[in-house]
């Protein structure tokens, strides 16, 4: 590949904080890494496979990507950082950004591996977006936990699909009665014949009213509206007519629905004053292979676009992701400033002041015995969710819910779960069933990272993608 006879490699270039995107790639191919970097920069910005007679100085100067750093691992592989100028992109149009930077390059035949680890979004680009509508504080207000600052605790009604509306709502009621803040639809439950969306909604609202009268707590329902765009709009309008903003979080399968629908739905939820719950089903198809996009990038988009609470994994449960990496995802959700950490493939970035924190959701293979470890890893601003860890409890849903809530109360009292379980039989049963994840393991990992950041960075730079956590 010639790539236009131009040089996209410019090691002296320093990206501009307000207008340059910085993208961190890992690549391995049949060519020397410098050539691969040129090809990637060209194909994702202004170039193509041969010299263009139509290229002119203005286009070259204003719109090209610049490879400004290569960390070579072998002759043909390495990390590369490429800067893209803001003018290259269509305002607010995330799809156009994806088609450029996360597009054709994955198909270049000389490449054996191409993984986009992270993007640092410049401040001017961030100004095009409004960030979470409710965010951490807004969701806490809905749940009534602004003062207590305890972690939220929720459940996914199981079985994932199959229950009829009344059965579904009864499981929700039992969960609330056991002390949970939130119940949610599973990612694959929307409007099937056996459980029509409206019927489930009405039954669940009744369950919430009944439970709120009994528990004195606020209860929330993350209601999955994911569908074709016009169907989502119909559902949003229906929710608005019913005035359910205080009890309903609009749940979206954000990855599978695509950015276009997501952008428009989020402007409507904001207009109708609904908080949102982002489920990331499907993201891992791109996150785990040799060709892919790390979830860090999607998560940043979701926060910029305005999701209020977002699944980020657990680090201790059933889904992929090391504990330390999940901690990084928590930081992306909730912090304003992010430091560069090469061992996660993570870049430095500052979220604009107008982009509020988004609440992290720890879900997937969670039970009461993992709560201490989750809080050690993610802190108390978190929504902890357990599906099977509630409905698989030997005492049934209500006791399962109680076990989760007791585990959270124990954390708030600073008492380890096994000790708290002595006076709380539901928690004791959960620990007997599934064991206890000792938070000391998490604390040790966090301490190790702190002490060994330089060593971990050196290992990543030496081993490449295999050396990242
Ligand atoms: C959890 C869950 C979520 C996962 C997805 C499930 O159920 O409802 O979809 O949390 O992963 O069906 O697996 P369990 P992530 O509590 O029964 O495991 O949150 O990492 O996106
Ligand atoms: Mg699920």
pLDDT digits (tens, 9 = 90+) for 296-351: 999 999 999 999 999 999 999 999 999 999 999 999 999 999 999 999 999 999 99
pLDDT at 3: 61
pLDDT digits (tens, 9 = 90+) for 390-432: 999 999 999 999 999 999 999 999 999 999 999 999 999 999 9
Decide: helix, strand or coil at residue 77.
strand
Query: Of these residues, 279, 370, 391, 424, which one is catalytic?
Result: 279
pLDDT at 4: 57
pLDDT at 49: 87
Give the whole-number percent of the chain exceeding pLDDT 90.
Answer: 97
Task: For tokens 């609202």, name the residue.
Answer: 205
Task: For tokens 């090391």, name the residue.
Answer: 322
Is position 424 annotated as part of the catalytic site? no
Rounded-to-integer distance, Cα 14 and Cα 339, Å:
18
Determine the distance separating the centroid of ligand 1 and the alpha carbon of 363, expressed in angstroms: 5
- Whether the per-residue pLDDT at 6 is higher than 80: the answer is no
φ/ψ of 64, rounded to 5, equals -75, 155
* Contact (CB, 8 A) for 132 and 303: yes
Contacts of 111 (CB under 8 A, 6+ apart): 27, 28, 29, 36, 105, 291
Rounded-to-integer distance, Cα 382 and Cα 154, Å:
11
User: 372 vs 3, which has greater pLDDT?
Assistant: 372
Closest ligand 1 atom number to CA of residue 280: 21
Rounded-to-integer distance, Cα 156 and Cα 187, Å:
9
Atom 11 (ligand 1) nearest CA? 364
Query: Closest by alpha carbon to 36, among 1, 10, 73, 4?
Result: 1
* Contact (CB, 8 A) for 378 and 330: yes
Determine the distance separating the centroid of ligand 2 and the alpha carbon of 398, expressed in angstroms: 19
Distance of CA 249 to the CA centre of its chain: 17
Determine the distance separating the centroid of ligand 1 and the alpha carbon of 318, expressed in angstroms: 8
Is position 279 annotated as part of the catalytic site? yes
Rounded-to-integer distance, Cα 380 and Cα 360, Å:
10
Determine the distance separating the centroid of ligand 2 and the alpha carbon of 221, expressed in angstroms: 14
Closest ligand 1 atom number to CA of residue 281: 21
Contacts of 57 (CB under 8 A, 6+ apart): none
Q: Which residues line ligand 1 (CB under 6 A)?
A: 156, 158, 160, 186-187, 280, 311, 313, 318-319, 363-366, 386-389
Query: Of these residues, 88, 158, 184, 300, which one is catalytic?
Result: 158
Closest ligand 1 atom number to CA of residue 187: 9
> Which of 171, 296, 360, 363 is the best mutation target for the ligand 1 pocket, counting ligand atoms within 8 Å of the beta carbon and taking the most?
363
Q: Which ligand is nearest to the CA of 329?
A: 1
pLDDT digits (tens, 9 = 90+) for 225-276: 999 999 999 999 999 999 999 999 999 999 999 999 999 999 999 999 999 9
pLDDT at 51: 85
Summarize the confidence of residues 151-168 as an average pLDDT: 98
Determine the distance separating the centroid of ligand 1 and the alpha carbon of 158, expressed in angstroms: 11
pLDDT at 1: 44
Per DSSP, helices labelled H in 243-322 are 254-271, 284-287, 295-305
Q: Which ligand is nearest to the CA of 316?
A: 1
> Which of 288, 295, 359, 364 is the best mutation target for the ligand 1 pocket, counting ligand atoms within 8 Å of the beta carbon and taking the most?
364
pLDDT digits (tens, 9 = 90+) for 282-302: 999 999 989 999 999 999 999
Pick left, alpha or beta for residue 315 (phi over 0 → left; psi -120 to 50 → alpha; otherwise beta).
left
């Amino acid at each position: 590949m010639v790539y236009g006879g131009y040089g996209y490699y410019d090691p002296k270039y320093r990206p501009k904080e307000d207008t340059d995107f910085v993208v961190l790639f890992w690549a391995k191919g049949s060519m020397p890494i410098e050539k691969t970097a040129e090809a990637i920069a060209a194909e994702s910005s202004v170039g193509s496979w041969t010299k263009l007679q139509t290229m002119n100085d203005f286009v070259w100067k204003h719109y090209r990507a610049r490879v400004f750093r290569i960390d070579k691992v072998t002759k043909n592989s390495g990390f590369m950082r490429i800067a893209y100028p803001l003018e290259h992109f269509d305002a607010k149009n995330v799809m156009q950004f994806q088609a450029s930077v996360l597009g054709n390059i994955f198909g270049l035949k000389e490449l054996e591996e191409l993984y986009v680890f992270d993007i640092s979004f410049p401040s001017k680009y961030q100004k095009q977006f409004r960030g979470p509508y409710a965010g951490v504080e807004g969701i806490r207000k809905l749940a009534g936990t602004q003062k207590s600052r305890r972690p939220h605790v929720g459940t996914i009604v199981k079985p994932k699909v199959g229950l009829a509306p009344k059965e579904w709502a009864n499981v929700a009621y039992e969960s609330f009665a056991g002390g949970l803040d939130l119940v949610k639809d599973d990612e694959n439950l929307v409007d099937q014949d056996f459980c029509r969306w409206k019927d489930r909604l009405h039954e669940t609202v009744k369950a919430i009213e009944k439970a709120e009268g009994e528990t004195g707590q606020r209860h929330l329902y993350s209601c999955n509206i994911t569908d074709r765009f016009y169907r989502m709009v119909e559902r949003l309008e229906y929710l608005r007519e019913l005035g359910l903003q205080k009890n309903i979080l609009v749940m979206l399968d954000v990855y599978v629905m695509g950015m276009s629908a997501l952008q428009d739905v989020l402007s409507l939820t904001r207009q109708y004053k609904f908080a949102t719950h982002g489920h990331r089903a499907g993201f891992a198809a791109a996150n785990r292979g040799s060709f892919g996009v790390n979830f860090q990038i999607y998560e940043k988009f979701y926060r910029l676009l305005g999701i209020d609470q977002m699944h980020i994994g657990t680090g201790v449960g059933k889904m992929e992701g090391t504990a330390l990496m999940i901690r990084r995802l928590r930081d992306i959700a909730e912090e304003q400033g992010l430091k560069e950490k090469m061992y996660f493939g993570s870049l430095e970035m500052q979220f604009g002041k107008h982009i509020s924190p988004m609440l992290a959701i720890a879900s997937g293979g969670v039970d009461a015995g993992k709560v201490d470890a989750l809080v050690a890893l993610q802190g108390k601003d978190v929504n902890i969710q357990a599906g099977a860890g509630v409905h698989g409890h030997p005492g049934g849903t209500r006791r399962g819910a109680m076990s989760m809530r007791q585990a959270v109360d124990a954390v708030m009292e600073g008492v380890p779960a096994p000790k708290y379980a002595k006076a709380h039989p539901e928690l004791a049963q959960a620990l007997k069933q599934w064991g206890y994840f000792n938070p000391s393991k998490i604390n040790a990992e966090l301490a190790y990272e702190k002490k060994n950041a330089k060593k971990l960075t050196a290992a990543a730079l030496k081993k490449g993608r295999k050396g990242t956590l």
